[in-house]
């Protein structure tokens, strides 16, 4: 598994006061199209936060159902192909130093989204959360165009592009 590390403050593990884990999934169908979420003017790979006492795979199954309505039954044999580690000083402005661990998985499925089976958060609803299939050959172009048009304030597009490069090289 490859790692992408962001640590502009040169924080050490002992400086960290909070760890947040997430999963993100590259859902790819047999037509080599990837299912991307779009909300608040940003594209994202579907996924989300790991809940207490939840494994990464349990989170993958839950988050994909909540965001796409697709019911996956992946088990612990599937492994992430990459992990993005981020070290952030005084985040969120409470004197805490946060480490984020985002585990990226590739899952191939032709199951279509079932919007009647989704559970969106208020932020997702307010951001106009929607799903769309994009040919793998056009992902980079679309992410770059979207970042140029709307900015990349939270570096989501940059991280997605870097992780997509890791995915292509595996």
Of residues 104, 112, 116, 139, the one with CA closest to residue 30:
112
Distance, CA of 7 to CA of 148 (rounded, Å): 24
Of residues 44, 34, 169, the one with CA closest to residue 108:
34
């992990």: which residue's tokens?
A: 83
- For 54-106, the pLDDT digits (tens) are 999 999 999 999 999 999 999 989 999 999 999 999 876 778 899 999 999 99
What pLDDT score does 170 carry?
Answer: 83
Distance, CA of 47 to CA of 60 (rounded, Å): 7
- For 18-58, the pLDDT digits (tens) are 999 999 999 999 999 999 999 888 899 999 999 999 999 99
Model's pTM, two decimal places? 0.92
pLDDT at 115 over 80: yes
What pLDDT score does 82 carry?
Answer: 97
More confident residue, 155 or 126: 126
The two three-digit tokens of residue 89, written as one number: 């000083």
What mean pLDDT, rounded, does the chain reach?
A: 93
The CATH number covering residue 38 comes to: 3.90.79.10
What pLDDT score does 27 carry?
Answer: 97
What pLDDT score does 93 carry?
Answer: 73
Mean pLDDT across 135-151: 92
Domain encompassing residue 145: 2-169
Total domain count for the chain?
1
What pLDDT score does 1 carry?
Answer: 92
42 three-state secondary structure: strand
């Amino acid at each position: 598994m490859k790692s992408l590390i962001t640590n502009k403050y040169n924080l050490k593990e002992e400086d960290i006061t909070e760890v947040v884990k997430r999963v993100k999934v590259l859902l790819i169908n047999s037509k080599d199209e990837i299912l991307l979420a779009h909300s608040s003017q940003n594209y994202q790979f579907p996924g989300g936060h790991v809940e207490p006492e939840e494994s990464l795979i349990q989170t993958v199954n839950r988050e994909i159902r909540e965001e796409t309505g697709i019911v996956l039954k992946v088990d612990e044999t599937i492994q992430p192909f990459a992990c993005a580690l981020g070290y952030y000083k005084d985040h969120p402005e409470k004197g805490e130093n946060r480490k984020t661990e985002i585990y990226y998985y590739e899952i191939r499925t032709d199951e279509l989204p079932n919007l009647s089976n989704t559970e969106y958060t208020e932020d997702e609803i307010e951001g106009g959360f929607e799903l769309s299939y994009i040919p793998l050959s056009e992902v980079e172009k679309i992410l770059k165009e979207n970042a140029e048009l709307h900015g990349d304030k939270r570096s989501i597009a940059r991280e997605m592009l870097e992780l997509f490069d890791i995915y292509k090289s595996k």
